[in-house]
């Protein structure tokens, strides 16, 4: 793991890291990047840019997001809690359906 993510010990730290990523890489104003911000159309990123954000998170945290993750994660908080859960920093989010959970677990070593 790279040095900047070593201090991430809970989902709020992870949320802050994702906000900074989107702010710094895509110039999105932090005022828009709230927990309830809608990913698709609400934060001003194209679908391709959202995929790039997922790719960056996946690479940084050594995760593999299942296909159609952006269909499962509606809000910025959803993306954060999903990532935190897959890294063992948070309980399984309520929006994670059993089929999606199975896909996440088949691609990653998600703690029980």
Buried b / exposed e across 21-48, counting CB within 10 Å, b at 16+? bbeeeeebeeeebeeebebeeebebeee
pLDDT in tens, 4-35: 676 898 999 999 999 999 999 999 999 999 99
pLDDT-derived band at 112 (thresholds 50, 70, 90) equals: confident
pTM of the model: 0.91
Please give the structure tokens belonging to residue 14: 């992870």
If we measure between CA atoms, which residue out of 23, 27, 43, 47 comes closest to residue 35? Answer: 43
For the chain, the average pLDDT equals 93
Q: What angle do CA 21, 70, 78 make, to 5 degrees?
A: 65
pLDDT at 24: 96
For residue 2, pLDDT beyond 60: no
List Cα–Cα distances, 63 to 27, 43, 82, in angstroms: 25, 23, 11
């Amino acid at each position: 793991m790279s040095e900047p993510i070593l201090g991430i010990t809970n989902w709020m730290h992870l949320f802050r890291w994702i906000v900074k990523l989107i702010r710094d890489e895509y110039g999105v104003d932090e005022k828009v990047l709230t927990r309830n911000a809608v990913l698709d159309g609400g934060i001003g990123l194209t679908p391709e840019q959202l995929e790039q954000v997922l790719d960056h998170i996946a690479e940084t945290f050594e995760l593999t997001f299942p296909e159609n993750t952006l269909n499962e994660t509606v809000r910025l908080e959803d993306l954060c809690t999903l990532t935190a859960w897959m890294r063992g920093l948070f309980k399984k989010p309520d929006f994670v359906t059993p089929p999606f959970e199975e896909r996440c677990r088949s691609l990653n070593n998600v703690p029980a």
